[in-house]
Amino acid sequence: MARLSDLKLAMGTSIFVSTFIFGAFLVAVIFLLQYFVVGFDLLTGILLAVGGTALFILFEWAVGPVIVSASTHLRFLKPGDNPWLENMVKDLVAKSGIPMPKLAIVPNNTPNAFTYGRTSSSAVLAVHEGLLKQLNENEIRGVIAHELGHIKHKDYIVMTVLSSLPLIAYWIAQIALTASWFSGGNSRGRGKDQGNAAVALIAIGVISFVVYIVSFLAVMRLSRLREHFADAYSGYLTKNPRSLESALTKITYGLSLAPKTTAEARSFYIEDPTQAKQDAAQIIENKDEYDLDHDGVLDERELELAMEKESKNTMQQLNSLFATHPPTFKRILLLREIEQEMDTGTYSSDKMYSHV
């Protein structure tokens, strides 16, 4: 039985583990440079590494929202631009007890939405034009409630900061391995020191890549967990989990038909476009197996059985380790459990995350 404290613990643990791994990684890099590179100053190396990392994370936190705004070409709404959407958000915000986010529309015909920002008071809730066109009012309400869940949990701020660490490790790996190739290729005529530097750079590159993989997996795990908590929050806030179930189905189907996917803000979206294509393809590929009455259409019960089976698929579970979002069928199954509990009349707000 999960609670909101479990998400906070997961965020705190992810920060601690990622920071610890990254700190050990920096120590290893500095040690290798000191050991192999003549004239390398240990204190200077530590100060540069720690200071550089801190500045990069601060830069990512400060500039990240600007990059998201520019890359998605969103348009901020002024009061009165879209009264229907504004009133819906205000109603849900009042029930959530959080500050009113800035509203924005993304000129994109795919059905999606996302939340980002530096703080809860400066959060932005962006909705694609495709979402407003393809979903009905209840479905949009379920999506908005999901996004407000992220603001309530403050998980998008943690994601912005943590996402910096794998990126730094990846860049260091690329730079070190490229430099080692040039250094090694020119070391024959330049003595032992040049060869030692090449060895150090290769070691740094390999360690950096391992740290990139480990820290990336940790960040992705938190990313998937926060989506489950936001889904559960939406079900509680709207008192209608089926609205988000239906919305996720339409979003996944709509994204799976999109001619191309986009990488901008993918971890912040309610659904990752690339993953949506994979989820839909997985069900379609095994359609004949799941079509129990062989009528050529997967009805609700057949689709539910398909989702249950796909959620237990070993390859699916392995692939999901690198995913920003849980598979759509797992998210829908979670919402079904919440809906069934609500139907019994025993559901209470203090247990809204019990099925996560």
Residues that are catalytic? 147
Task: Give the H or E element holding residue 260.
Answer: none
Q: Tell me, what DSSP letter sits at residue 152?
A: H
Q: Which two tokens stand for residue 267?
A: 């971890």
- What number of other Cβ atoms are within 10 A of residue 268's Cβ? 25
Fill in the amino acid letter for 270: I
Distance CA 258, CA 328 (A): 17
Cβ-based neighbours of 24, under 8 Å, separated by 6 or more: none
Instruction: Kindly tell me the sign of the dihedral angle through the C-alpha atoms of 66, 328, 231, 312.
Output: negative
CA distance 163 to 18: 10
Cα–Cα distance, 143 to 89 (Å, whole number): 11
Residue 31: how many CB atoms within 10 A of its CB?
Answer: 14
Q: Which amino acid is at 172?
A: I
Neighbour order of strands in the sheet with 75-76: 75-76, 102-106, 124-128, 113-116
Cβ atoms of 77 and 103 closer than 8 Å: yes
Three-state DSSP at 102 gives: strand
Residue with tokens 């999606």: 112
Handedness of CA 258, 263, 269, 272 (dihedral sign): positive
Bridge partners of 104, per DSSP, are 76, 126
> 58 CB contacts (<8 Å, ≥6 apart)?
none
- What phi and psi values does residue 272 have, to the nearest 5 degrees? -75, 120
